[in-house]
Amino acid sequence: MLKYQQIANDIEKYIEDHALQQGTKLPVLETLIAQFQVSKSTITKALDLLERKGVIFQVRGSGIFVRRHKRKGYISLLSNQGFARDLEEFDLTSEIIELEVKKPTEEVALNLNMDLEEDVYYVKRVRFMNGKTLCLEESFYNKSLIPYLNHEIVKDSIFNYISDALGLKVGFSDIYLHVGTLTEEEAGFLQLKTGAPKLYVESIFHLTNGQPFDFSKVSYNYEQSQFFIQANGQLF
Amino acid sequence: MLKYQQIANDIEKYIEDHALQQGTKLPVLETLIAQFQVSKSTITKALDLLERKGVIFQVRGSGIFVRRHKRKGYISLLSNQGFARDLEEFDLTSEIIELEVKKPTEEVALNLNMDLEEDVYYVKRVRFMNGKTLCLEESFYNKSLIPYLNHEIVKDSIFNYISDALGLKVGFSDIYLHVGTLTEEEAGFLQLKTGAPKLYVESIFHLTNGQPFDFSKVSYNYEQSQFFIQANGQLF
């Protein structure tokens, strides 16, 4: 972890530990520089990270302020690390339905920017939160980037394995959301009724070098899942 | 519009006009500085903006690259400007169901951080895309920040009015998503069947100074709406 990331973590932890409310003013830049004994650019990078994460907001000429705490139990749609981190207070488990190496379909090859003759790891899992079904997930990993997966890895967090064991850095992702109804097969896995509403999410995850490594299709149990986004301004 | 925003727009337009594909390398920083005749920090700010918008990605020591174009017709969940901008190719209209000044409920007062004795503008609209129902929207505006709304304004883009006529700057937003089923009343407005699936979105929009000015509850027609998020990495 880089220095500015460590400082960002420290500041975030301070806000959480003291349950600071939205609008609470944080110390000015100069105070933070003196307190952490680092350069202005390091503090600036830490603050920008916290702003992107939705922890603080900065008002030019006025100061640095705490943002509202997100509601509990919501899954972040902006996390690029899988949702294990958002739901730390819950018991997350997985049941593996399928794990095999196969050739990509045209749709998968297109989304992973690979050839039809190359291999993908295909993973199909039902994920559970506190013993109740959370979602049905089908993921396709480009095997030339993720050369090895087994049941033990797939039962746990694949993203942790990718970053910790393979040393790969997860970068940006494209996420597409649709609302629809559950097919009979999906309903069976999710223990819901056929035709019940679902949130269906397709994601393409890239490494920091821009290579797409995971194309996933997830159908969520609508009774168990709720989502949040903390959006920053300044996009236009 | 600030200089760096103008440059970001120019670069984005260049990418669109030339239909540059994901992974296309853009000129190096020095070339862009020479081309736009501005400082390094202005170009850096323009590139950071484009990265946050999901237009490009930057690889340290390697260069600046184009990101995949988003699929057409998807509504951005990260736009803080209402969705009129995502759906420019469509004909968007509104039917006003209700527009009145009233006292906030406890829920509304809490989300807008205001007193129960203060006033809100309550706006209830059905929004249409190419003549089909897109969503049913209930919005509550803090009247001390948005002092005046009328039918003409509400028929069009309220966010354009807020930024152009009132000169207010829209900052960050908190967005909460749930999937559920339509009530009879909602189904009536959306011209769907009671019990059909819906995406239900609650948003709290803030000014750049951190004041919440709009709390909105939107139920989307699932047949008409699909959403995307272009997420950046580096959040952890």
3 state DSSP class of A30: helix
Phi, psi of B139 (to 5 degrees): -125, 145
Q: What pTM did the predictor assign?
A: 0.84
Q: Which residue has the higher pLDDT, B73 or B137?
A: B137
Tally of CA atoms within 13 A in the half-sphere of B77 that contains its CB: 30
Give per-residue pLDDT as tens, B90-101: 788 899 999 999
Nearest by CB to A174, which of B68, B170, B197? B68
Chain B neighbors of A78, CB-CB under 8 A? 229, 231, 235
Alpha-carbon distances of A97 from A123, A125, A179, B86, rounded to whole Å: 8, 5, 24, 38
- The structure tokens 């609650």 sit at B202
User: Do the chains contact at A77 and B77, CB–CB below 8 Å?
Assistant: yes
B107 touches chain A (CB under 8 A): no
In the prediction, which pLDDT does A70 show?
Answer: 67
Question: Which residues lie below 8 Å from residue B232, measured CB to CB, with a gap of 6+?
Answer: A52, A80, A171, A172, B51, B52, B54
Among A residues 186-205, those touching chain B with beta carbons less than 8 Å apart? 197-199, 204
Say whether pLDDT at A47 is over 70: yes
In the prediction, which pLDDT does B170 show?
Answer: 87
- Average pLDDT, stretch B138-148? 97
Of the pLDDT bands very low, low, confident and very high (cuts 50, 70, 90), residue B236 is very low
Say whether pLDDT at B124 is over 50: yes
String of DSSP letters for chain B: --HHHHHHHHHHHHHHHTTPPTTPBPPPHHHHHHHHT--HHHHHHHHHHHHHTTSEEEETTTEEEEPPPPPTTPEESS-SS-STTTTTTS-EEEEEEEEEEEPPPHHHHHHHT--TTS-EEEEEEEEEETTEEEEEEEEEEETTTS----HHHHHS-HHHHHHHTS---EEEEEEEEEEEE--HHHHHHHTS-TT-EEEEEEEEEEETTS-EEEEEEEEEETTT--EEEEE-S---
Of the pLDDT bands very low, low, confident and very high (cuts 50, 70, 90), residue B235 is very low
Instruction: Determine the Cα–Cα distance for residues A126 and A136; give it in Å rounded to an integer.
Output: 5
In the prediction, which pLDDT does A228 show?
Answer: 83
Nearest by CB to B59, which of A22, A78, A208? A208
Q: Indicate the residue type of B159.
A: F
In the prediction, which pLDDT does B185 show?
Answer: 97
In the prediction, which pLDDT does A191 show?
Answer: 96
In the prediction, which pLDDT does B160 show?
Answer: 87
In the prediction, which pLDDT does B75 show?
Answer: 81
Of the pLDDT bands very low, low, confident and very high (cuts 50, 70, 90), residue B37 is very high
Q: Which residues share a beta bridge with B202? A: B176, B217
3 state DSSP class of A214: strand
In the prediction, which pLDDT does A172 show?
Answer: 86
Instruction: Determine the Cα–Cα distance for residues B148 and B145; give it in Å rounded to an integer.
Output: 9
Instruction: Determine the Cα–Cα distance for residues A26 and A35; give it in Å rounded to an integer.
Output: 13
Say whether pLDDT at A236 is over 50: no
CA neighbor of B137 nearest in space, from B128, B129, B127:
B127
Residue pair A135/A219 in contact by the 8 Å Cβ criterion: yes
Chain B neighbors of A81, CB-CB under 8 A? 235-236
In the prediction, which pLDDT does B150 show?
Answer: 95
Instruction: Determine the Cα–Cα distance for residues B118 and B120; give it in Å rounded to an integer.
Output: 7
Of the pLDDT bands very low, low, confident and very high (cuts 50, 70, 90), residue A82 is low
Chain A neighbors of B206, CB-CB under 8 A? 57, 233
- Average pLDDT, stretch A4-27? 91
Q: How far is CA B132 from the centre of its chain?
A: 20
Among A residues 122-141, those touching chain B with beta carbons less than 8 Å apart? none
Of the pLDDT bands very low, low, confident and very high (cuts 50, 70, 90), residue B79 is low
Of the pLDDT bands very low, low, confident and very high (cuts 50, 70, 90), residue B89 is low
Of the pLDDT bands very low, low, confident and very high (cuts 50, 70, 90), residue B70 is low
- Average pLDDT, stretch B29-52? 91
- Average pLDDT, stretch A34-38? 94
Of the pLDDT bands very low, low, confident and very high (cuts 50, 70, 90), residue B200 is very high
Percent of chain A with pLDDT over 90: 62
Residue pair A154/A98 in contact by the 8 Å Cβ criterion: no
Residue pair B99/B154 in contact by the 8 Å Cβ criterion: yes
Instruction: Determine the Cα–Cα distance for residues A93 and A128; give it in Å rounded to an integer.
Output: 5
Instruction: Determine the Cα–Cα distance for residues A229 and A43; give it in Å rounded to an integer.
Output: 25
Q: Which residue has the higher pLDDT, B60 or B154?
A: B154
The two tokens of residue B231 are: 């997420």
Instruction: Determine the Cα–Cα distance for residues B185 and A199; give it in Å rounded to an integer.
Output: 22
Give per-residue pLDDT as tens, A111-127: 999 999 999 999 999 99
Question: Which residues lie below 8 Å from residue B39, measured CB to CB, with a gap of 6+?
Answer: B33
In the prediction, which pLDDT does A86 show?
Answer: 58
Q: Which residue has the higher pLDDT, A165 or A140?
A: A140
Of the pLDDT bands very low, low, confident and very high (cuts 50, 70, 90), residue A235 is very low
